Structure 1
Amino acid sequence: MRILFIHEISWHKKVVYEIHDFPELLSLRGHEIVFIDFPEGCTPPGIRRIVDLKTTILKNCSRAHAGASIETRTPGRVVGPPMDRLMASLTHVPEIWRLLSSKAFDVVVLYGVPTNGWQTIAIARYFGVPVLFRAIDISHALRASVFRPLIKIAEKFIYKNADAISTHNEPLRQYCIENGAAPEKVSIEYPGLDLERFSPGPRDPELCSKYNLEAKDKTVLFMGTFFRFAGLDWFIDSFAPYLRSNLNFKLLLVGGGEAEQGLRTQVDRLGLSNNVIFCGFAEYPMLAKYLRLGDVAITTFEDSLVTNCALPGKVLQYLGCGLPTVCTPVKGLQSVICDENSGILYKERNHSFIEAVAALLANDEHRNELAKAARITTERLFQWDTCVNRFEDAIRKVVKNKSPKKQLV
């Protein structure tokens, strides 16, 4: 098949996750893949900051899987950040129209919503190209914006008009249905995990030296973007007494984001600069080595629509590396991985969460049992062959069931 993927983030700059894995693995199966993206966070020099209408085409791209070949197309723009995303709702249209009018694609796999999603649905319907929408989050609720009501309208339009919807957990499936999707159109396909890359192993000596970690140190690890809803400020405050009374307890924060400066100020105020280590973002080839520095991983999300419909990829990576994980009981993750025998301890965001982390650091036997269970869970649920087979089947089903043109609703 010739498959057009469309998203509203930068394929080249974003951390590696399923938007790289699925297209690349499908290309390794012989499918021809083109990916339209949006250059978020990129500021071109000179006059190109204001007007840059040329589509940038890069061929034979690969970020996660050796031998894969993706063609990326980044449409031009007419203003620089932050207005470029708003204008992209118009500037992406010619490129999407050009590609779909060529009749060269069997199907579109759509991730984007406000930037280029609803436009893709309309153009694909006009040219009779089926669209599989891959729902992985709640677009309108990701961040505060005056455009939030309009983004929700775009969401509902896509749910109602996509030929099929693929998502990764039951609460998100139900959200799509509640907002207009026909139940029979919405299926669940799990993202896979690179089980060779994300596997248990010893701590890397060079990283231990870099961050002054000793063999006796017990480490709690958080990896990911420091969103304000991530709950790290709460965890640092609550875990501070344990860090002060156990000098070999360390907290490693691998990542960065909007809350970082506030967290650094908080750590200094609490006098924990020797116990809390900010590692910055890890490059994908090094990520597993960073995860193996941890003894226990945490996910401290607040209870919200966004978090309850998420399936955090970092948790799968934790488990793949054999990291026992203490996590707040977010419903999307619980619908996929449901009990302690999976390597996850679900705890409410209160003192029971903190006690569970401290108890695991102190109990080698229990920690090792959970580590083994974590690895078994990933091998059972997230084997690439199985996950890609199911996603490929979902795409083929959309193509097979392609229906005559019908009115948008």
Structure 2
Amino acid sequence: MKRIAVITMGVKLNNENGYTRFRFLSEFLVEKGYEVDLITSSFQHWAKEQRDIESISKEKYPFRLRFIEEPGYKKNIDLRRIYSHSVAAKNLKKMLNHDGAYDLIYCEIPPNDVALSAAEYAHEHDIPFVVDVNDLWPEAMQMVIDIPIVSHVLFYPLLRDAEKVYELCAGVIGTSDEYTDRPFTKNVRNIPKETVYVGNEISVFDEGVEANIQAIKKESGEFWVTYAGTIGTSYDIRTMVQAADELKKQGYMNIYFKILGGGPLKDELEEYAKTLLGNVEFTGYVPYDKMAAYLRKSDILINSFIKKAPQSIVNKIADYLAAGKPMINTCSSIEFRNKVARDGFGVNIEAEDKKLLVDAILEIFNDEEKQKQMGYSARKIAEEQFNRPNSYNKIVALIEDLIKKD
């Protein structure tokens, strides 16, 4: 039985918050006949605290869990986070040197230095290394800390590590075409690559809807405009709050905005909303199954980003599409804007413009046929392109080919 290491610093284990991409992939590879070690951090990124590893170890998983010791940090963009990842990178190298007899290593990037430790170990021991690109560092950080010359110097080590990882990989998986192509911008290489959206398990989404839909109370005649995700610097929630205010002033008393999730700007924006007239509710963090029901009960979903946000096709898109509702997209990614227009599940507008957002909402609000057509297209694309039990077969095929070549 071939042995694979799946390395990620951010994964949801039982009863935690977070993303399930790498847990699903690990389980999926076990089902395909591989022996899998899921290697992750002792620090839980979303809770910003150390994991109770003893308690987690009592739970049953089809794969083996291994934990990299990491000191942790308090903020997503923080010098302590950079230090914490550097410690994790060194501890990962120690772990692999102690027990790293794998037939293939599969690792996410970022963090760039953690990925580099894995890539260098794989290169030194002639092990095929697959990089999973699901964000771009330092590009994303430079959006927040954009100081001429200073930012370039500050983030150069991240850029240097990323380029080294891309030089050493034997295969590339990206969560969008933009991310898949990133390793080849400075390294023209003939290695396998695939774009596999983060996706979801539509059956799990639908189970969440069925279990919670009756508990989500929506009065007759209410029209819900909903955002689900982090409330932070990349996400343009302020314009949503302003649009709610404007719609109320125009007499649309039945349009309600639901903001699902938490983040560093939640309290500030919630207080700001209270100073205006709009119908806005900040629900706080909502468990996945309940979130699914909220999305299904909504009428429009907002993929809301600021103009400078570097994100492409993010995690929430799979759930938005599975809900079968029209989407208003403010993300600047050309790839995703083209997809929205081509696949017909929503409309694109420029970010940070209250009038454009109000006009887009009213365009959909006043056209029931458009609502139905966009909702149908959304669900169809979710089933065809974002459903993990189907789409992740492309990852398995790439892994199989590299192991055979090795």
Q: TM > 0.5 between the two?
A: yes
Structure-1 residue corresponding to 2:31 = 28
Q: Which runs of 5+ in 2 are unaligned?
A: 75-79, 146-150
Q: Kindly tell me: are residues 109 and 79 of structure 1, through their superposed partners in 2, closer, same or farther at Cα, counting changes over 3 Å?
A: closer
CA distance in 2, matches of 1:5, 1:193: 18
**Alignment-mate amino acid for residue 28 of structure 1:** E
CA contact (8 A) 1:8 1:115 kept: no
Counterpart amino acid of residue 259 in structure 2: L
- Tell me if the contact between 2:130 and 2:172 (Cα under 8 Å) persists in the aligned partners: yes
Instruction: State the match for 2:65 in structure 1.
Output: 72
Deviations 1:201-259 (A, max 9, x none): 68823221xxxx31211000000111212111122223421034222111001111122
**AA aligned opposite 2:324:** G
Structure 2 residue aligned with 1:406: none
Q: Is the 8 A contact 1:15 1:284 kept in 2?
A: no
CA distance in structure 1 between the aligned counterparts of 2:7 and 2:127, rounded to whole angstroms: 13
- Given candidates 308, 311, 314, the residue that maps to 2:313 is 311
Question: How far apart are 1:193 and its partner, in Å?
Answer: 2.8
- Provide closer, same or farther for how the CA distance between residues 372 and 207 of structure 1 changes in structure 2, counting only shifts above 3 A: same
Structure 1 14/148 Cα, relative in aligned 2: closer, same or farther at 3 Å? farther
Instruction: Identify the residue that residue 363 of structure 1 maps to in structure 2.
Output: 367
Aligned-pair identity (%): 15
1:339 maps to which residue? 341
Aligned-residue offset at 1:362: 3.1
The answer to whether the 8 A contact 1:130-1:398 is kept is yes
Does 2:207 align with 1:214? no
Q: Aligned AA for 1:149?
A: Y
Correspondence for 1:134 among 111, 114, 132? 132
Aligned to 2:267: 261
Match of 1:294 among 295, 298, 306: 298
Higher relative contact order (CA 8 A, sep 6+): 1
Q: 1:42 to 1:169 in 2, by over 3 A?
A: closer
> 256-265 or 181-190, which moves further after superposition?
181-190
Rounded Cα–Cα distance in structure 2 between residues aligned with 1:155 and 1:282: 34
Which blocks of at least 5 consecutive residues in structure 1 are unaligned? 49-53, 63-68, 403-409
Q: Secondary structure at the match of 1:111?
A: strand
Paired position in structure 1 for 2:123? 125
Give the aligned CA root-mean-square deviation in angstroms.
2.9
The one-character-per-residue Cα deviations of 1:40-68 (angstroms, maximum 9, x if unpaired) are 355459xx9xxxxx999837655xxxxxx
Contact 2:70 2:84 in 1 (8 A): yes
Please list, as runs of the form range in 1=range in 2, the aligned pairs for 1:102-117 lying within 5 A after superposition.
103=101, 105-112=102-109, 113-117=111-115
Q: Which of 309, 322, 325 is 1:323 aligned to?
A: 325
Counterpart among 167, 176, 190 of residue 183 in structure 2: 176
Name the counterpart of 1:388. Answer: 392
Q: Give 3-state SS (helix, strand or coil) of 1:129's partner.
A: coil
Alignment of 1:274-285 (within 5 A): 275-285=279-289
Secondary structure of the structure 1 residue equivalent to 2:19: coil
What's 1:407 paired with? none
Call closer, same or farther: CA 1:352–1:57 in 2, change over 3 Å. Answer: closer
2:258 is the alignment partner of 1:252: yes
CA distance in structure 2 between the aligned counterparts of 1:289 and 1:384, rounded to whole angstroms? 20
**Which amino acid in 2 is paired with 1:268?**
K
Superposition deviation, residue 115 in structure 1: 4.4
More displaced stretch, 78-87 vs 28-37: 78-87
The secondary structure found in structure 2 opposite 1:119 is: helix
Offset, 1:154: 0.9
Which deviates more from structure 2 when the two are superposed, residues 110-119 or residues 317-326? 110-119
Cα separation, 2, equivalents of 1:270 and 1:152: 42
Partner of 2:148: none
Alignment partners' CA distance in 2, 1:24 and 1:76: 23
- State the alpha-carbon separation in 1 of the partners of residues 24 and 373 from structure 2: 30
By how many angstroms is 1:77 displaced? 4.3
Matches within 5 A, 1:159-170: 159-170=166-177
- Secondary structure of the equivalent of 2:224? strand
Matches within 5 A, 1:36-75: 36-38=39-41, 39=43, 40=45, 41-44=47-50, 58=57, 61=60, 69-75=62-68
Distance 1:183 1:348, change over 3 A: farther
Aligned-partner Cα distance in 1 for 2:72–2:308? 34
Task: Give the AA of the match of 2:132.
Answer: R
Quick one: structure 1 residues 397 and 305, their matched pair in 2 at CA, closer, same or farther if it must change by over 3 Å? Answer: farther
Distance in 1, Cα, partners of 2:284 & 2:92: 33
Pick from 206, 214, 217 the counterpart of residue 205 of structure 1. 214
Q: Distance in 2 between matches of 1:77 and 1:135?
A: 22
Structure 1 residue 224 corresponds to structure 2 residue 229? yes
Structure 1 residues 241, 197: closer, same or farther in 2, change over 3 A? same
* 1:83-111 deviation line (CA, Å, top 9, x unaligned): 533422322321122221xx2x2111110
Report the counterpart of residue 377 of structure 2 in structure 1.
Answer: 373
Corresponding residue number in structure 1 for 2:99:
99
Describe the shift of the 1:280–1:393 C-alpha distance in structure 2 as closer, same or farther (beyond 3 A). same
> Helix, strand or coil: the match of 2:256?
strand
